[in-house]
Amino acid sequence: MAIISFTLSEEGMGIFHDALGCISKFADEVCLEARKDKLSLSSINLSKSTYVCIDFAANRFFSAYSFQGQGQTREKFHCYLTIRALLSIFRPRIGADKDRESTVERVDVSADDGPGIKSRLIAKIFCRNGITATHALQFEVRNAVHASFREEEACNHWTISSRTLRQLMDHFGPGIELLDINVEGENVVNFTCFTEKAARTAEDATVLKKPLHTSIAVEIDEFDNIQLPEEHHIVINVKDFRNILQHAQITSGELSASYSDLGRPMRLTYHRDGVACKFILMTVLKDALPGLKTKKGVRNNQARPQLDAAAPPASDKPGVSAVGNSRPAAEASRTEPKVQQKTPVRPQRQSQFQIRPPPLPPASTLRSDSLFVTQDNDDQMWEPVNPEEDEDAEDIGRLEWDPNHVGHMNAPEIPMHALTLSPRTHPKEGSSATLPLAPRKPRTRNRRTWPRCLSPAWNPPRDYRRFASLASFRRDRERTVSCGGVLLDGHRITIVG
């Protein structure tokens, strides 16, 4: 008998896939943790700034669920799997011509482990046409790492429609890194985006390369269950937030946030029947926000060194099962009571669970952004032709204004783990990337084909007025030809009543 076995319906598989898809935005591996009453998927990103945990209730989400823990696994069973493999197993299968026969009816998943037993996760996919596909995945058993969140500390909270929030995020342009959620005015919560670069490129020459600065004011009435002090700021990573919202929107109607202050974690939760999603994001340290301060005319250049000093020790990699055990006992004893797992999270969470604004947003941002942008679909046909079909290069080329992307024209997919961890190298890269883009002025070029004369700008012979029929065009549109009760009006045909 396998330790854990469960069955997913077709719909359940879709939800499971969405959850995995969401987690995959943060990490490559997922920790599957099974208990009697629930199955959890959790992960923490490499920079340990974001923790995600999605719980599936045993009795409500699954068609069948059984947990037979023994010995070591009496309480719970956990293992690590690569998300990519899981994603392809649980991917939605759409049959040709929407042929229901080839769609999936259910999935049986089981996992077993122990002495003399092969450690495999087996997924059997039953299709309606009678085909059964069996996948066996290797997994690694090691302790789960969970982030902790102190409920009593997080006195600020609000709840809002996840759709509304996502639509608001659509208004932010590309190339932004941080989102400041603040209360400054009366009865208004502001969502303001900015990048760290904004503060550094103040010289005239680079002014035009600054990203769009956007702020959205939302009335407090729009939130439910809101409690925020006055003059309060909290700053989070935009990319993570967008990824979360994307999943939140398809999963649930409402999203709740609770947090305390800058540099302390923020928790975002939403749920649907049988599924509970929880994210813990590290918010940006106050000192690391020169941008925030410049707004008030104060600069603080010491923020980065402090960040560095607080960087986690190298051994402190996520997923290292020895994290807890290798720590001195004294420190382990200081572990907060609320830690969910035996792997302790140090009280000094700034170091354990450290965010720094990810230095280089992956170049694929453009792609993911487009998910959030109201696309004028009809507009597609007016896009310039691109004969070489190298869409990536073209698309990213179009983002040239964003210095973030400049260095990465040929690296469309930089996974999260490729982000440089040292914050010190980042500004340099950023600024050097901006250099090649010299400011441009309106200018004329000696273009071979404008050989004759150039009129001084805006005193040109107004050539466009030369057509007498300009006026006649207008008459054209008004002129209609009567034709047996039908008026032919250019391209339109109007029936006369």
By CB under 8 A, what part of segment 142-161 binds another protein? Answer: 161
**Contact letters for another protein, residues 257-296 (x by CB under 8 A):** -------------------------------------xx-
| Separation CA 234–CA 179 (nearest Å) | 8
Please, which residue, 128 or 209, has the CB nearer to another protein?
A: 209
Angle at 310 between CA 304 and CA 312, to 5 degrees: 125
Please, which residue, 204 or 231, has the CB nearer to another protein?
A: 204
Under rule CB under 8 A, which residues in 419-448 are in contact with another protein? 439-445, 447-448
Work out whether 456 is an interface residue with another protein (CB under 8 A). yes
| Separation CA 340–CA 252 (nearest Å) | 25
Work out whether 130 is an interface residue with another protein (CB under 8 A). no
Under rule CB under 8 A, which residues in 181-220 are in contact with another protein? 202, 204, 207-219
Dump the DSSP string for 188-209: EEEEEEE-THHHH--SGGGGGG
Please, which residue, 37 or 390, has the CB nearer to another protein?
A: 390
Please, which residue, 152 or 379, has the CB nearer to another protein?
A: 379
Least Cα distance to 278 among 169, 417, 151, 111 occurs for: 151
Please, which residue, 428 or 445, has the CB nearer to another protein?
A: 445
Please, which residue, 72 or 467, has the CB nearer to another protein?
A: 467
Under rule CB under 8 A, which residues in 218-247 are in contact with another protein? 218-219, 221-222
Work out whether 492 is an interface residue with another protein (CB under 8 A). no
Contacts 24+ apart (CB under 8 A), 369-377: 369/174, 369/242, 371/246, 372/166, 372/169, 372/170, 372/242, 372/246, 373/170, 374/170
Please, which residue, 205 or 418, has the CB nearer to another protein?
A: 205
Q: CB under 8 A: which stretch of 63-71, 163-171, 300-308, 412-420 binds another protein?
A: 163-171
**Least distance between another protein and beta carbon 414 (Å):** 22
Q: CB under 8 A: which stretch of 97-105, 255-263, 343-351, 375-383 binds another protein?
A: 375-383
**Least distance between another protein and beta carbon 224 (Å):** 9
Residue tagged 């996992």 (tokens)? 111
Least Cα distance to 416 among 120, 82, 45, 79 occurs for: 45
For CA atoms 368, 374, 380, 385, give the dihedral sign: negative
**Least distance between another protein and beta carbon 218 (Å):** 5
**Least distance between another protein and beta carbon 294 (Å):** 6
297: alpha, beta or left? (left if phi > 0; alpha if psi -120 to 50): left
**Least distance between another protein and beta carbon 492 (Å):** 13
Read off the DSSP letter of residue 62.
-
| Separation CA 269–CA 101 (nearest Å) | 37
**Least distance between another protein and beta carbon 233 (Å):** 17
Least Cα distance to 210 among 201, 220, 223 occurs for: 201
**Among 457, 483, 495, 496, which residue interacts with another protein (rule: CB under 8 A)?**
457
Please, which residue, 42 or 252, has the CB nearer to another protein?
A: 252
| Separation CA 409–CA 402 (nearest Å) | 11
**Among 96, 98, 330, 466, which residue interacts with another protein (rule: CB under 8 A)?**
466
Read off the DSSP letter of residue 395.
H
Q: Are 7 and 108 in contact (CB under 8 A)?
A: yes
**Least distance between another protein and beta carbon 458 (Å):** 7
* 2's tokens: 């396998």
**Among 384, 484, 485, 497, which residue interacts with another protein (rule: CB under 8 A)?**
384
Work out whether 410 is an interface residue with another protein (CB under 8 A). no
**Among 229, 337, 461, 485, which residue interacts with another protein (rule: CB under 8 A)?**
461
CA 358 centroid distance within chain = 12
How many residues make contact with another protein (CB under 8 A)?
A: 75
Q: Are 6 and 109 in contact (CB under 8 A)?
A: yes
Please, which residue, 155 or 371, has the CB nearer to another protein?
A: 371
Under rule CB under 8 A, which residues in 470-489 are in contact with another protein? 470, 472-474, 477
- 40 vs 174, 252, 324, CA distance in Å? 33, 18, 21
Q: Are 363 and 396 in contact (CB under 8 A)?
A: yes
